[in-house]
Structure 1
Amino acid sequence: MTPLDLPASASIVYTRRMKNFEKRRDRYELFSAFENPLVNINFLLDVPDFRPWCKQQGIPVFHFFLYCVLNTVKQSDNFMYRIYEGEVIRIDDFPASYTVINADDNLNYTRFEMTDQLDLFISRSLEAKRIAEASAKLINTGTGESVREQRHNIFITSLPWLDLRAIEHPVYRHGEADIPCISWGKFGPGADGRMAVPFSVQAHHGFVDGYHIQQLAQAIAERIAAIIA
């Protein structure tokens, strides 16, 4: 969607946000010339231990963390830029999606409408999980969507069985890999009663620097702390 497609007030906001991108267009052009323009950083994400709070509230731990991650990404400007028809655009929303394992022990994809309302997010996430786990067919791959619609995505993978140290995601064409990939592994104990989450962020370096990944990590921790306080 471009400013011409938006109401006047939304068009002003869109234009202002694209001006933010123009400040780093030269960085984008630099990394876009690379055969592989991706930055991939793996680290231990330090967050408050939200598991006791989730237990008290009857909220599944994974889905609470997913809610915090996705809603933080949505408010992180650098993670919302995409490439469409050779030019940079900025998306304002995306569906929630993550991988599950179905009854055949094969990967499948969930997909549901994003919301910042926690209880509604949890219920939608659980229903999407039920559908994806029950399907032998690979679903929610974006088949049938336009190229423009397919830009509205964040790729989420969870490996709760592993003390994740690093991950490399499959890439169809490196030069067009504009959708951030976020992964995490098994939750572990941190210092002073906190949690250490093995965490990985892969993104186009034309949009995202290591500094922005650090900002995202800090904002996720702050969101969790504010909710469980």
Structure 2
Amino acid sequence: MQLIDRRRDRFEMFDRMDSPALNLTFNLDLPDFRPWCKAQGLAPFHVLLCAVLRATLAVENFRYRILDGEVLRIDRLMPSFTVINQHNDLNFAQFEWSDDLREFVARGLAARAAASAMVELNLAYQAMTPRQARDQVFITCIPWLDFTSIQHPTATLGAPDIPSIAWGKFRDAPNGRLQLPFSVQAHHGFVDGFHIHQLAQHIAAELTAFMQA
């Protein structure tokens, strides 16, 4: 674990704090991939979800978690995201990863349909072991709002080791671009503002690669 060994002093400093969470909300600038999604018959949210999760694996600092006081590095992700049901109540959707974009989107759509049809809270995540739970990034989308900040919930204030990511309403931008409010919460012992900048760059690159494939 070369990275965590190099950052050990930073990690120990932030991990001693009551809340070691780093929170940033910013305008994410992306190529406008919506026309491409329409032409391909793909749901834009799920295409962006795939790009975001691929990007979190591409930026090494987002791969680290804490379990039983020890730092571990993940090598896979279990996609999960929030949905609303017929009563406009929150629920959770989960599905197995696929490297194929179309299969990824299909699995995400099926998971959304299943979770949206539930009245009760989907408790499938409770079947995950603590180690399996570390293979997540918490994703939520608030497409109705052009928000400027958000407070992500954490099960334990002092352990925000699973990153939380949220985005909001798309806005048209000049020159074939779009912008959206984007929020990232991560453990500051692993992630600095620069790494969130890298995450944003990787998301844009993933979307560009999809459209050029």
TM class by smaller structure: over 0.9
Matches within 5 A, 1:99-110: 99-110=82-93
Task: Please give the secondary structure, in 1, of the residue aligned with 2:125.
Answer: coil
CA distance in 2, matches of 1:42, 1:175: 20
Task: Please give the secondary structure, in 1, of the residue aligned with 2:26.
Answer: strand
1:212 aligns with 2:192: no
Which residue pairs with 1:54 in the alignment? 37
Q: Deviations over 1:91-139 (max 9, x none)?
A: 1112101000011211000000112210100110010001000011111
CA distance in 1, matches of 2:147, 2:158: 26
Q: Deviations over 1:152-204 (max 9, x none)?
A: 21100000000021100112212112100000000101232201011000000
Farther off after superposition, 18-27 or 209-218: 18-27
Which residue pairs with 1:75 in the alignment? 58
Which residue pairs with 1:12 in the alignment? none
Matches within 5 A, 1:79-158: 79-140=62-123, 142-158=125-141
Two-structure CA RMSD over aligned residues (Å): 1.1
Unaligned residue ranges in structure 2 (runs of 5+):
none
Task: Please give the secondary structure, in 1, of the residue aligned with 2:126.
Answer: coil
Q: Is the 8 A contact 2:19 2:159 kept in 1?
A: no
Which residue pairs with 1:174 in the alignment? 157
1:141 Cα shift? 5.3
Higher relative contact order (CA 8 A, sep 6+): 2
Which residue pairs with 1:159 in the alignment? 142
CA distance in 2, matches of 1:136, 1:79: 33
- Amino acid of the residue matched to residue 225 of structure 1? T
Tell me the matched-pair count. 212
CA distance in 2, matches of 1:200, 1:130: 25
1:75 Cα shift? 2.1
Task: Please give the secondary structure, in 2, of the residue aligned with 1:207.
Answer: coil
1:221 aligns with 2:192: no
Q: Is the 8 A contact 2:53 2:77 kept in 1?
A: no
CA gap of 1:164–1:101, structure 2 versus 1, over 3 A, is: same
CA gap of 1:140–1:111, structure 2 versus 1, over 3 A, is: farther
Which residue pairs with 2:2 in the alignment? 19
Could you list the structure 1 runs, at least 4 aligned residues long, displaced by more than 2 angstroms after superposition: none
**Which residue, 21, 25, 29 being the options, matches 1:42?**
25
Which residue pairs with 1:30 in the alignment? 13
1:65 Cα shift? 0.8
- Amino acid of the residue matched to residue 164 of structure 2? C
